[in-house]
Structure 1
Amino acid sequence: MNPERLRVSANGLAFEVLVWGRPDDPLVLCLHGFPDTPWTWRELGPYLAARGRRVVAPFLRGYAPTDLAPDDDYSAPAIAQDVLALHAALGGDTRAALVGHDWGAVVTYAVTQAAPATFARYVTLAVPPTAAVIAPFRRRATLTIGLGQLRRSWYTAFNQLPGIAERSLDRLIPKLWRDWSPGFAGRGDAETALTALQRPENRRAALRYYRDNLRPGAIRTGIAPLGAPLLYLHGVDDGCMRVELLPLAEPHLPPGSRAVAVDDAGHFLQLEKPEVVNGLIGRWIAERDPNGQR
């Protein structure tokens, strides 16, 4: 099922979005991360649409053809406001669900903090809450996990280098796809991401996600308690975020949440194991929420 492409105005920006499903069906917003685009939802979109959901996957602020941020703010709280505005602009109601991968997961956590009742169900993939990433450094027994994650996160420091990081994306993005999802043929997806980041201003915007969200104030916001239960999925073979972080994430998830490790999958697990990931997400969204609604 090929998606429809629309332009949606929300929060002072014009968003390009991919859409699967009928306009009157309950909304599912799907948020991509770096270095990818909403096309990474091409397996989940048709799956949920066939089950009575309208799936909308936007190019996030800064990713062409969506607008650049008018305030030059690419922090998770700012993008969370985009999500809330998109929910309203798309006619979302209390049955809506929010799904986020990578930076989209970080934004999803921010939405649960800012307005948890906006969506009935939340799903995150591949990146645990900030508190879970910091947790290994709080105990000697888990320090090796934290140090191992620091080594994997070398690109985070590299992405802080103005100009150098922007010019390196043509080599960096294909490398990250290879390293983060070993054995997965993500060449086409890397090229699609580079297409969304062709212009220098878009490259700068994508890297500002790393620069804006590593500021002390953003980190303090990120470690605040989450506001709604969610489903968290993590690929066992993830080359970006260590799977050992998954059990460390569970204490930081609200009651009623669920954390699941997906075998034979790396960072882009929604593309690597769609039959497993689609089923887990579909069942989670279909379950009754704590208020007895769907």
Structure 2
Amino acid sequence: MAIVTPPPPADRAVTVGSAHITESPLAASQIRSRRIQANGLDFPILEAGNGPLVLCLHGFPDHARSWCPLLVRLARAGYWAVAPALRGYWVGGAAPDGSYRAAATGQDVLALIESLGAQQAVLVGHDLGARAAYAAASLDGSRIAKLVGLAVPYGKGLATAFFADGDQQRRSWYMFFFQTRLAETAIELNDFAFLHRLWREWSPGYELASSDRSALNETFRQPGVLAQALAYYRQLFTPPSDPAMQALETLASRSISIPSLYLHGADDGCISAHLSEGMDAMFTNGLERVIMPGVGHFLHLEQTDAVLNHILRFLRM
């Protein structure tokens, strides 16, 4: 099912703001950074290009800068590509309502589309960013033109697997560990070696460049960010106590009526690709599901050009 593409050009290190990014030999000056107010937060964003809006939403343990290779390529294809930080991923970015649930991040996505002055956006979400994209599409599909999910499927299959699938329970050990008070200390030890162990396990054979690893460490070293990132997982297995948030979570988990594409790496060490089987039942306007061979969890970095080709083909349909 996957499109076979030649390997991307050799990487080189460039600088975006104060962080180093491994980028293919494309003009780093195409990437701009600023802040934008939405849903009570002042979101840092990276952006490139002009044209139809494509919002790229990162996951864990990751940050918006990992989208830079794709932002530049999307810009060259005629899109306005924007990668915001998820709530909690910067100093001063703590959730105003204390919520790091899917519905809250979905509301952020819809507010960002409005604040950016767009009527609609294409959403490209990876990992927790995919969760945010699904929630936004479920809450208000009129604001979403098309939806692309990467590495985290939608629907009840994944939630069931946390309780009933031994293989997925082993893969998801870190989620259960994050419920303990030991998590913060363990993650920070030896220059965040814990996080980079996850990267190695989830994307076998892929190695972050040293400059990218340093930039990722700096994200989680910021005051408050690690605890806020862990809150996504600490709220994952318990229902919200606020009735309003309970209702919103229900709305954010409905069927999705947006034309959608789903990409998953066959070698993903975080979430088994087979858990995406049957998720098409949750998509009432069509879902194309592609399992990419030889790719792990961070597929947008491992095979940026192949992922881009799938996205562009889908957007032009």
Distance 1:67 1:187 in 2: 27
The yes-or-no answer on 1:18 pairing with 2:46 is yes
Q: 1:215 aligns with which of 224, 238, 261?
A: 238
Q: 2:198 aligns with which of 176, 180, 186?
A: 176
AA partner of residue 153 (structure 2)? P
Map residues 246-265 of structure 1 onto 2, 5 A cutoff: 246-265=276-295
Match of 1:205, SS state, is helix
Matched residues, number: 277
Q: Deviations over 1:211-235 (max 9, x none)?
A: 1232235786665433423111000
Corresponding residue of 1:124: 149
Q: 1:198 aligns with which of 202, 207, 221?
A: 221
Comparing 27-36 and 253-262, the one that deviates more: 253-262
Alignment check: 8 A CA contact 1:131 1:252 kept = no
Match of 1:216, SS state, is coil
Shift of 1:246: 2.5
Distance 1:215 1:123, change over 3 A: same
Corresponding residue of 1:28: 54
Corresponding residue of 2:307: 277
RMSD of aligned alpha carbons: 2.1
Comparing 199-208 and 53-62, the one that deviates more: 199-208
Distance 1:168 1:201 in 2: 16
Alignment check: 8 A CA contact 2:257 2:283 kept = no
Shift of 1:91: 1.3
TM-score by length of 2: 0.81
Q: 2:132 aligns with which of 107, 126, 141?
A: 107
Map residues 85-104 of structure 1 onto 2, 5 A cutoff: 85-94=111-120, 96-104=121-129
TM-score by length of 1: 0.87
Corresponding residue of 1:291: none
Distance 1:137 1:161 in 2: 17
Q: List runs of 5+ in structure 1 lacking aligned partners.
A: 288-294
Q: Deviations over 1:16-60 (max 9, x none)?
A: 1111103xx111111000000112212211111111110010111
Distance 1:58 1:77 in 2: 17
Aligned-residue identity in percent = 39
Corresponding residue of 1:292: none
Q: Deviations over 1:114-172 (max 9, x none)?
A: 0011010111100001412145699xxxx6xx22111110000011113x211222132
Shift of 1:87: 0.4
Corresponding residue of 2:15: none
